[in-house]
Amino acid sequence: MNLTEEEILRQCAKMCKNTLMETLDISFCEVGKDYLVAKMPVTPRVHQPDGVLHGGAMVALAESVGSAASFMFLDAKEFYIRGIEISANHVRSVKEGYVFAKAEIVHPGRTTQLWDIKIRGEENQLISVVKLTTIALPKTK
């Protein structure tokens, strides 16, 4: 796609309407040649019962940013993008503020793509390390 950063972020915001991303208040905030960044507020809505960010919410944030990155960097008119494998290592807890997920391409294959996603807190502290594999499925005509 030959879109400006602003156009890509606007498309990402449009994709979030009436989805899990809207429910979790995930928003896309930065895009580069081979990466995409999204942020999510850490509030009681995404806490575990003991008051820290739920690991499942972090995985949802990671899959959202990785899948959106695949969608943005492939010809989305020709393909459906689906996550096919995800693994996460949560290394730090967070109770409030924002977390930022940066998806960086490791393997930009035609069929499968591999993403390295780091989730960091507002002070750039590492919260979670995620690996996501996506697949591009051709749309039928």
What are the residue numbers of the active site?
Answer: 63
Strands 112-121 and 126-138: antiparallel
Report residue 40 as tokens.
Answer: 């999510």
d(CA 82, CA 67): 7
Residues 54, 46 contacting (CB under 8 angstroms) = yes
SS3 66: helix
d(CA 3, CA 60): 26
